[in-house]
Structure 1
Amino acid sequence: MIKSTDIIRCCASPHGIFWLTVAVLAIPNVALCFTERMGIMASVTNIVLPVAAVWLLMALGRRPGKTALLLFPLMFLAAFQIVLLYLFGHSIIAVDMFLNLVTTNVGEAMELLDNLLPAIVIVVVIYVPVIVLAVVSLRRGDVLSRSFLLRQRRRSLAALVAGAACMAGSYLAGRDYSARLHLYPLNVFYNIYLAADRYKATADYPQTSAGFSFNAVPTHAASGREVYVLVIGETARACSFGLYGYGRNTTPMLQRTGGLTVFSDAITQSNTTHKSVPMLLSAASAEDYGRIYREKGIITAFREAGFHTTFISNQRPNHSFIDIFGKEADDWKFIKEETERSDMYDEDMLRMVNDILDKKRAKELIVLHTYGSHFNYRERYRRSEAVFRPDNASEAKVSNRRQLLNAYDNSIRSTDRFLSLLIRQLDRSGAVSAMLYTSDHGENIFDDGRRLFLHASPIPSYYELHVPLLIWMSPSYRQMYAAEAAAVGSNSRKSVATSASVFHTMLSLAGISTPLRADSLSVASSSYKPGERHYLNDHNLPVAIKKILRGDEDFVMFRKMNLKY
């Protein structure tokens, strides 16, 4: 009988560390063969070629402990990959995932990691022992014999040749195979390169956008006050809003609000905050995302047209285009940066809105970036507002779905209250006013057999794509600008890509003219024309929605909600 001590002794030997390192680094390759849509030849390539490469690297040095530690970057990527497979169920580490590392604040990241205990335990159990054994081996001065190393070099080189042959077969199979897209970890290193390139492009924005102008001018008559509010929600999915037919009463106040138009078929073009929010704040879209590096945001267009502008965020700065476009405003605040409170709610922004309205400026734009329903859901509302209970569990596992959903639905009720109170403020101000609300993306909450959770997977689901789009107009606005009000009503049943339409819709509502305004994309225009909708993929390329959907479950939900795809 083999004893556990014998196994440990074997693993701790020089030969054991050699083979253990090769084995644990092969785990993501094997897992990806089951999670990705690859042909047989591609799957074989994805195992044989990378394993042979690691095998050869381990055979290049006599000290297995030292060589294993030098391969720590590969272990880190492997651990990262396993966590993401646990979370999303598929896909390699995306470009957006690397960018999320540098655009997510520490508190937000810790909230997530605190509730991914099973995945963390898995990677700790797999990789920490290898690192510990490698350190012990290095300190002991373990060495491998030259004869052993020569044999492994010959065998690994033979495996490399076999892997290369399999890769050639994958290309010849004609299944759009590409090593930089399908071969792990080469595809991950390619994504790191793309992430670094985009990060640099963002850093260079002050130079690449210098001198840009919308040449925006106002067209509304200069009589009376005008106030326009753009509210950008966070992680709110339409199917959890009572306004969209959800079985729970999550929007009791909005459902009693007059002057509110609900757009039934609105989808986002990205399920990642650092791309979706900047598209909402600019003329960039999935079809033409590159312009984001050359042009200013919507706040600048309003400023050029004579509006006083304010940007208020209940999220922390993250060194992305959200910060860049937000700081184009005359006044901007990230309210979490100005207080030691850890429980800042979206409603806390309403006091600031009230102060702005009290100034009674002639033309006002207010942009509010909420924290909405971002995980951890139960932290987004006061305990006294918890209607759906129990809602305390937050660990990311299927058995907690009921409590997670209760907490999420409570956060939607909090958004309902926030928007309703905001509308009341605008109504009481007496100004000609309009408010547009939409969310950056939706969320997965273990909704079907795929067991998907959260968002930002390289391949989005229906639950991440379908977002609420609401427009409220004051009675005075509807009277003075009847054409725009009528267009909003007539377009409310048409399909909309929010990331492509919000910029142009806000300009239409406010009567701002600029050569960059496209009325065919504005739902506040009779010229609005729905077209094929696209998703901005991980490599910033537009992909038709019907091609990006991964499972039958998505098509079922699109049909159930009467969405066009």
Structure 2
Amino acid sequence: MPPIEKLIDSSKTSFLYLLIVIGLITICDFIFFVSTEQYSSAILGALACLSLHLLPVYFFRNKIKLYLFFLTPIFIFLPLNLASIILFDVPINDATIVLALNTNPAESFELLKGYIPSLLISFLLYVGVLYLLVRKIPATISANNAKIIGIASISVFMLLPLVSFDGGSYFMKLRTRYYSIFPTSLLYAGNAVFKQNRLINSSKEQRAKYLFHAKAETTIVDKQVHLLIIGESSRYDHWGLNGYSRNTSPKLSKRENFISFSNAAAGGFITEFAAPLMITGVGADNFDKHFQQKSIVSLFKEAGFNTYWISNQVDQGHIKVHIDEADNKFLNLSDSKATKNVHRDMELVGALKKVLGESGTKKFIVIHTAGSHYDYSVRYPDEFDFFKPSNKTIHSKSADKAFKDVLINSYDNTIRYSDAVIDSIIGLVSSQNALASVTYMSDHGENLFDDSRDLSQHAYPVPSKYIAHTPFFVWYSPILKNRFPTKIDNLQKHVNSKVSSENIIHTLSSMSGLTYPLQDSLKNITSPYFVDNEQKILGADKKVYLVETLK
């Protein structure tokens, strides 16, 4: 028989392994809060997570391994959440889930290809260490130790809300505390996405019955072509025509009848939110209203236009709701099964040629580009590899600041390519000799390691000012200018006014000679009554931010 002292030490050591395994669950939030200098949240979050997962130990004291088996899903998602935090500085949230659901294998590979080897090795090491730790855990825990764990856990569980300085009732603080930590934060985010999808489906009948009651100006006898181009991840200050030190817009800089607005703001921080806000105009405060109504596509359709949606993206979820309103859809470029063939935006110009060649004198077209979506070097062909070195020749990870200059060179090449695409679109529309316009606005901007936060790309829960400030262009044909000179004058007068994607539907419809009861002259940039937009942007967890307060 071994000495009693060794049995005691062995028992304590085995119990320590259990604490270590449960403690692993806290590591995600601890790293995130420490990295964002929220030190009190790091400590309180770790205590909350420990108390939550140690509470059941008393009830499973005779079957500890069974309890750990029930925690398997948590241990599976833990490395995914940790990878999101380490690589992209953000835990998995509702936006992450939406992005994962609405991307394709090619885009996922573009984002993760630089990390795959290290992620795979790290995951295998994690599984190995976890397996060894679990083997050391005893099958049972004494009732006395289980009681101590239970009392301590429930005490921490109940007392933590009292430490919070936020407002609200005790139970509201309790709920907030435990919704903000992994894995309940993941469940909360998943539930939010589920509710959104359920709302989309339940509102289908209401959308179908929605009418703008739009009317077209009957005195217009000219052929009409109006385009709305939805850009991707393009930021205002990286366009040469907006004052950027690099000549990233050699073609559009020479375009006549062309206006670039200096103070335009995105409505959402990711495409899934930004695009519906742009085409419905409901505003960031009322995002859920876009489920109940139709978009600018149906507005033009009611006024007698043939409508088209041409896309180089995987338009699902919130966006697909409104794509289905179009008479004609060219979505083959967004083949979600394509992993080898790369579709670039100039192919959209080919689709546009077909559309413009079809019969009909009134056409409204939405073109959704891939723009400057990461991987930047994949977005443009070799002949547009103007700024070097780029990721065409130097492979780097998407969030690696050491390669900041290479990433920015690649990004600026996407802008130069977008310049060529937009100019080609304008050239095609101009050749129609029609009362026509081309409106371009990016869904949101992009972070490029701009300050000490070292942010990259755009999926952070709180958007930055670099995400909010987007390019917004309007080109108009000579025929349109002659038909509506006052409206064009008003556009030019407001070139430096505060505008946002919320203004698109009111402005583009007015510029096209359409009217409808909800058309707001205060939001219509072609109107003499236009006033500065309040500029709000939707972030993660449906939080709305004033753009002027963003850093």
TM-score by length of 2: 0.89
Give the C-alpha shift of residue 362 in structure 1: 1.6
1:538 aligned to 2:540?
A: yes
What is the CA distance between 1:262 and its match in structure 2? 0.5
CA contact (8 A) 1:534 1:543 kept: yes
Matching of residues 56-455 of structure 1 within 5 Å: 56-58=55-57, 60-62=60-62, 64-90=64-90, 92-117=91-116, 120=119, 124=123, 127-133=126-132, 137=135, 143-147=138-142, 150-170=144-164, 178-182=173-177, 183-185=180-182, 186-219=184-217, 221-318=219-316, 320-336=317-333, 342-359=341-358, 361-392=360-391, 393-396=395-398, 397-455=400-458
Q: Which moved more, 1:151-160 or 1:232-241?
A: 151-160
Residues in 2 aligned to 1:37 and 1:15: alpha-carbon distance in whole angstroms: 32
What whole-Å deviation, never above 9, does each CA across 1:153-202 have from its counterpart, x for those lacking one?
A: 42343143034213223157889984444441334332222121012112
Answer yes or no: is the 8 Å Cα contact 2:468–2:547 preserved in 1: no
Deviation at 1:284, TM superposition (A): 2.0
Kept in 2, the 8 Å contact 1:75–1:127? The answer is no
Which whole-Å CA distance do the structure 1 matches of 2:218 and 2:281 have between them? 21
Pick closer, same or farther for the CA change 1:98–1:150 going to 2, 3 Å: farther
Give the Cα–Cα distance (whole angstroms) in 2 for the partners of residues 63 and 197 of structure 1: 36
SS at match of 2:541: coil
* 2:503 is equivalent to residue 501 of structure 1: yes
One-letter identity of the residue aligned with 1:290: D
Question: Any unmatched runs of 5+ in structure 1?
Answer: 1-9, 555-565
Q: CA contact under 8 A between 1:237 and 1:441: conserved in structure 2? A: yes
- Tell me the equivalent position of 2:6: none
Cα offset, 1:306, TM superposition: 0.2
Instruction: Give yes or no for contact 2:267–2:278 (8 Å, CA) kept in 1.
Output: no
Figure out how many residues of one structure are paired with residues of the other and give that number. Answer: 530
Preserved contact between residue 49 and residue 160 of structure 1 (Cα < 8 Å):
no
Task: Please give the per-residue CA displacement for 1:402-421, whole angstroms capped at 9, x wherever unaligned.
Answer: 11111111111110000111
Rate the CA distance shift 1:70–1:537 in 2: closer, same or farther, 3 A.
same
Q: TM-score, length-normalised on structure 1?
A: 0.87
SS of corresponding position for 2:48:
helix
Identity %: 24
Q: Aligned Cα RMSD in Å? A: 2.8
CA 1:454–1:280 in 2, change beyond 3 Å: closer, same or farther?
same
- Find the counterpart in structure 2 of residue 19 from structure 1: 19
Residues in 2 aligned to 1:270 and 1:179: alpha-carbon distance in whole angstroms: 29
Q: Distance in 2 between matches of 1:188 and 1:390?
A: 39
Point out where structure 2 has 5 or more consecutive residues left out of the alignment: 1-9
Three-state SS of the structure 1 residue aligned to 2:363 is strand
Equivalent pair of 2:31/2:42 in contact (CA under 8 Å) = no
Aligned to 1:563: none
1-structure distance, mates of 2:236, 2:160: 45
Q: What's the offset of the Cα at 1:257?
A: 0.8
Kept in 1: contact 2:442–2:472 (CA 8 A): yes
Q: Could you tell which deviates more after superposition, 259-268 or 103-112? A: 103-112
Give deviations 1:192-236, integer Å, cap 9, x for gaps: 221210121123332232311111110252311011010000111
- 1:85 is aligned with what amino acid? I
User: Does structure 1 conserve the Cα–Cα contact (< 8 Å) formed by 2:89 and 2:460?
Assistant: no
Amino acid at match of 1:298: I
Shift of 1:126: 6.7
- Matched letter for residue 431 of structure 2: R
Q: Is the 8 A contact 1:21 1:68 kept in 2?
A: no
SS of aligned partner of 2:280: coil
Query: 1: CA distance between counterparts of 2:167 and 2:210?
Result: 48
CA contact (8 A) 1:56 1:153 kept: no
**Aligned-pair CA distance for 1:77:** 4.0
Amino acid paired to 1:408: Y
